[in-house]
Amino acid sequence: MISTKTRRFYLGGCRSGKSRLAEEWVREQAIRPTFIATMQPGDDLEMEARVALHRQSRGEGWHLVEEPAEIVAVLMANEFNSDVILIDCLTLWLTNLLLIDRSDDEIEHRVAQLCQAIQDCSASVVLVANEVGLGIVPENSLSRRFRDLAGWINQQVAASCDTVLFVAAGMPLVLKGDD
């Protein structure tokens, strides 16, 4: 169990193992964990099945909050008095903000609020995000905007965390901290 508050950031490509590693760390450290899920499966049956599989793999003992946009408020409220809060994932959070037509300035303001909340939260905070900047330059402006904002968000959150891990093929590489 953790004795001091910590802030960890797991970053990697899709299906890299970042969520699994983040959940394993929380499972080993937390007594009262909360999972903040930003995914909105909508009417996508395949995505609903993925969400159900994620819930099942976490097992019992987790408080679940499904919140697509207002993660700062959920983080600061810590309504379950959790000792560790896991947010998965910031990339979907960005997608949700874009889908509700938030401007870049509004998104930047929310990211600043998130970074402050990471510091101020009464619990340890673990965050997960996709690294989307390793591929080719997207062909359309919305995709480039998404990639640019995701990269910027990852930089801001990484600066706010004690430990940053890049995950590839299920293997973590410590970018920051002494993990």
Tell me whether strands 84-88 and 124-130 are parallel, antiparallel or unpaired: parallel
Answer whether 177's CB lies under 8 Å from 126's CB. Answer: no
The token pair that represents 118 in the structure block = 């990471």
Answer whether 86's CB lies under 8 Å from 36's CB. Answer: yes
Per-residue pLDDT tens digits of the chain, which is 179 residues long: 666 899 999 999 989 999 999 999 999 999 999 999 998 777 778 878 877 777 777 778 899 999 999 999 999 999 999 999 999 999 999 999 999 999 999 999 999 999 999 999 999 999 999 999 888 888 999 999 999 999 999 999 999 999 999 999 999 999 999 87
Q: Give the pLDDT confidence score for residue 124 in this predicted structure.
A: 97
Q: In what helix (H) or strand (E) does residue 173 lie, and over which residues does it extend?
A: strand 171-176
Answer whether 157's CB lies under 8 Å from 114's CB. Answer: yes
Q: Give the pLDDT confidence score for residue 50 in this predicted structure.
A: 78
Q: In which residue are the tokens 């303001």 written?
A: 109
Q: 131-136 long-range CB contacts below 8 Å, 24 or more apart? A: 131/11, 131/12, 131/13, 131/166, 132/91, 134/13
Q: For 36, which DSSP code?
A: E
Answer whether 164's CB lies under 8 Å from 175's CB. Answer: yes
Q: Give the pLDDT confidence score for residue 101 in this predicted structure.
A: 94
On the 0-12 / 13-18 / 19+ scale of CB atoms within 10 A, 137 is: exposed
Q: Give the pLDDT confidence score for residue 69 in this predicted structure.
A: 96
Q: Which one is catalytic: 5, 27, 32, 54?
A: 54
Q: Give the pLDDT confidence score for residue 51 in this predicted structure.
A: 74
Q: Give the pLDDT confidence score for residue 1 in this predicted structure.
A: 62
Q: Which domains does the chain have, with CATH numbers?
A: 7-176 (3.40.50.300)
- Say whether 54 is catalytic: yes
On the 0-12 / 13-18 / 19+ scale of CB atoms within 10 A, 20 is: middle
